Structures are given as C-alpha cells and as structure tokens.
Structure 1
C-alpha cells in the first residue's frame, strides 16, 4: 500500500464523525405534534367560517358543528352580492385601497431614496421624527384627523380617506424602503452619475428595480391596512353610498345579527382581493430576491 493511499488522522476523524446529527425521536415527535396543534388552532376558525357560509340558517348552530356542509348551498353568497349595495361598497374599498397603495408606495420610495442617497442638513432629525410617528396609536389620531378633514373639505369623501391612508402608511413604508436602498452598493449609483444619469434616472432605473422585494412587502402591508381599516372610515364617512366594505359588513351584521351564514359569506368575498394581492406580489417578491442580486 502506498503512502498516498493511507488516510491521515483528520480524514479518519472526518469518517468517524456523523455527517448530520439527528434529533432524538421524542424531540422530533414533539415538534411535529406542536406544529400540527398550531396549524389546527389557526386553520379551524377559517374552515368553520367557510363551512358556515355554505350552510342554510337552520344548520348554522347545530352541535357538534358541521365542518362539511350537508346540504351545501350558495344562497348566502347570492344574497350577499345582491343585497344592500354590497358591490358598490366593494368597489369603494377597491378604489380607495388601490389608489392609496399606489400613491403611498410611490411617495415613500422617493422619500426613502432621498434619505438613503442624499446628504442634506437635518436628514437624520427628519427621519427620526418620521419614525417617531410609528409609536403613536392610530386611535389617538382619530380626532385630529377628523378636524383636519373637516377644515380641508375632505370629510365624508373617498379622496379624504385616500389622503389619510397615504399619510398613515408613509412612515412604515419609508422605513422599510430606506433600509433596503441603503444596502444597494453606492458604486452602482456613482457609475450612473459618471454616465450622466440624473437623480430621477438613478431612482427609476436603478433603485426601483433592485428594490422589488421591499416594494412588494410595502405594497402588501399598505393594501391590507387600507382594505381592512375601520375606525377612520367609520369616523369620516356618513353617507351610505360612500361606505367602504368593512363598514358595509359591520352594518350587514347588525341588520342580520343571527344570519351568520350570510355574514360569513360577505366576509369571505372581502378576503378574495387580499389573497389575490398577496399571491401576485409574493411572486414578484421571490423574483426580486433571485434576480436582484448584486455581484461585488
């Protein structure tokens, strides 16, 4: 046997050392049980909500609860869509949420780009004041927002909701986007400056494409907050035709307090846009992570 074929001491130790240390069977079983219990606790209310929405009123409060409706019916969905201007309220919420999300993400990305790339007097102070707004509970701002909306002529209007939804989401979105844009190598920005690119070109053609993961996250958060918002809309909107979907569902539940199948059907219809937005922007989020890498 040649000397080259004799394994050295480190090689012998590497062979004796297990490649991966598995946990004990008891610990593995405990993890699986804990995960299953957590999933059941989280999913059961939603499954019961879906099941109840397909049940007639006579079968809603049966014991034990029926997770598989028998007989199943779509009457609750048809009644929810065709009664009490539900589609009008759905459209109002869609207009407000989409407009507020688009404006908020655009403006906050500009602000984040300025905080991340420019140097100006009072930059850190302004950013800290902006972040300090995140510590104030939204409920405490209802009265000041109501007074401002009244003085500016924005009370009882969808544009008024859009203005305050944008203002309420700018701080968080700017915080998220600034951290991401600050991590982009400055050499790329300087290279574009050498080529004669101005600030807008660097923002639009460099920063935004690389910030797709952060933009997707900001879009999802903003749309969810605008779509589900209830206290401010309840405070500002008084005309029934200008109600958003959360207000409509609350009034719907008040008018049909015992018709839980009808209420759950309306709530599930309201969940559909949220699921669509999450699925669409999750795809862009993953794409941005894989395609937005920068080689140093």
Structure 2
C-alpha cells in the first residue's frame, strides 16, 4: 500500500511538472498584455481579460495562418498514413528481393537528424519548384514521416492472423480487397496512432517552414506566432494567447485518437 502511494505521488509530481508550463502559458494569455513575464509565474490569471485572444485572432492574418496549418496538416496526415499503410502491408505480408535491406534503409532514415539534410532538401525543393508553397510543405512533411509510420503499421499488420488472410484468399479475395476489408479495419488503432503523430508533426513544425516560406500569406501557425515577437520586446500575453489557440486542434486530435493510441503504440510488442 505504501509503495502504491509513493508511485501515485511520483506520477502526480511528474504530471504537474510537465503541465506547469502549459498552465502558466494559459494563465498569462488571460492577463493584460505586458512585455514582462509574471514573476513569480502563477497558474491562475490575476486580472482576467479576453482581449489578447481577440487581438491575436483578428491581427496579423492569424486566421490565414491557422487555415494554412490546417490545410498542410490534414493533407500530410492523409498522405503519410495512406502511403505508409500500403508500404507496411507490403513489408508485413509479401516477400520480395532485398526486402530486409530496403526496410533497413528506410529505418536508417530515422537516425538522421532533419537539420543535417535541410540544405539538400532546400536544393531539391528549389529544383522542383516547391519553395514558398504549402503543397511543398505537404510533400516534404509526408516524406519525412513515412519511415516511422511504416515501422509502426508494419508491426501491427504482422499481428493480423495469417489464417484470416488465407481464408479470404480461398474465398477469392485479391490483394487489394484483403488490404481494404481485412487489414485496414483491424489496423484502426495503429492507423489512428499514426494519424495523431503525423498531424502533430506537421502542425508544430517550424524549422523547415521557416526555411522555405518567405511569402507572409503562406505562413503556418508557428511562423505566424513567431512574427508576434517584436524586435526589442515581446507581447507575451498576445504570444501566449496565439499559442493557446494553436494548441486547441492538437488537444482535439489527441482526444479523438486517445482510445486507440495505447494499443497502437504497443502494436507488435507482444506476440
């Protein structure tokens, strides 16, 4: 009993430590705009006001930035999950020459930090005409997420009983039908998990967007929020209000997918 209480206290302390910056951000966003952060920081606003949210949404094309991020994130999620699902299915259920080698090369891409290849990526984007393009962001975000998403989905597809696959083959089902009617329905937990990670990765990404986007009308939310910071001072209430708005879709996506998130993350861990 004592050990259980200690564990609960440790988990609660860890949770509070993790959520404290978020609570401070939300609290500051409801206070009158100031160039100085509250000292000491507090979890509840001292002078409640909604003006920061109105100013953030109505100023500096914030609505456009929000829609840009939504467009990029949704398309990236759909594209990366669709492509990775087909790739994972092929690795899970088919044998072909150099299968393990190709899969190893795919996973090796996860070991390379994105900042290392940012210059070659920019050269490639320029040669393909994808600089200053939201579709260009979708293209590179999707390419960057395929390796991890394939790894996640393959582990889940391999858990699908081979007997079900063989039974559908006996009934005359082809590869496409088995993929659509068997693997995708059973793989919903992993697909939901992959979708959550893909959306979060595209929604929060900053460095690549900063590198290739110079047109202010094509900024995503991270770029738009960064633009709120002045040269000599920062309107923290405004910045935190914009950041809080930006977090809302992330929380919504996580809540929508949390039912499948744990089972998707543990896919393939137990045979």
Matches within 5 A, 1:206-225: 206-225=182-201
Larger radius of gyration: 1
Q: 1:78 to 1:90 in 2, by over 3 A?
A: same
Question: Alpha-carbon deviation of 1:38?
Answer: 1.7
Question: Alpha-carbon deviation of 1:66?
Answer: 4.0
How many residue pairs match? The answer is: 265
Segments of structure 1 that go 5 or more residues without pairing to the other structure are 1-22, 290-296
Q: Could you tell me which residue of structure 2 aligns to residue 70 of structure 1?
A: 46
Contact 2:89 2:157 in 1 (8 A): yes
State which of 13, 29, 33 in structure 2 corresponds to 1:53: 29
Question: Alpha-carbon deviation of 1:65?
Answer: 3.6
Give distance in 2, aligned partners of 1:177 and 1:210.
11
Deviations 1:174-232 (A, max 9, x none): 01111110111111111111111111100001000011111111111111111001111
State which of 213, 234, 246 in structure 1 corresponds to 2:222: 246
State which of 55, 67, 80 in structure 2 corresponds to 1:91: 67
Secondary structure of the residue that 2:129 maps to in structure 1? coil
Give distance in 1, aligned partners of 2:37 and 2:129.
47
Length-normalised TM-score, structure 2: 0.92
Higher RCO structure, 1 or 2 (CA under 8 Å, sep 6+): 2
Contact 2:52 2:237 in 1 (8 A): yes
Q: Could you tell me which residue of structure 2 aligns to residue 155 of structure 1?
A: 131
Give distance in 2, aligned partners of 1:58 and 1:167.
41
Length-normalised TM-score, structure 1: 0.84
Question: Alpha-carbon deviation of 1:283?
Answer: 3.3
Q: Could you tell me which residue of structure 1 aligns to residue 174 of structure 2?
A: 198
Matches within 5 A, 1:226-241: 226-241=202-217
Contact 1:55 1:70 in 2 (8 A): yes
Q: In terms of mean alpha carbon deviation, does 30-39 or 173-182 score higher? A: 30-39
Contact 1:131 1:175 in 2 (8 A): yes
Q: Could you tell me which residue of structure 2 aligns to residue 14 of structure 1?
A: none
Contact 2:196 2:253 in 1 (8 A): yes
- Taking only aligned residues, the RMSD between alpha carbons, in angstroms, comes to 2.0
Question: Alpha-carbon deviation of 1:257?
Answer: 3.5
Contact 2:28 2:38 in 1 (8 A): no
Question: Alpha-carbon deviation of 1:44?
Answer: 1.8
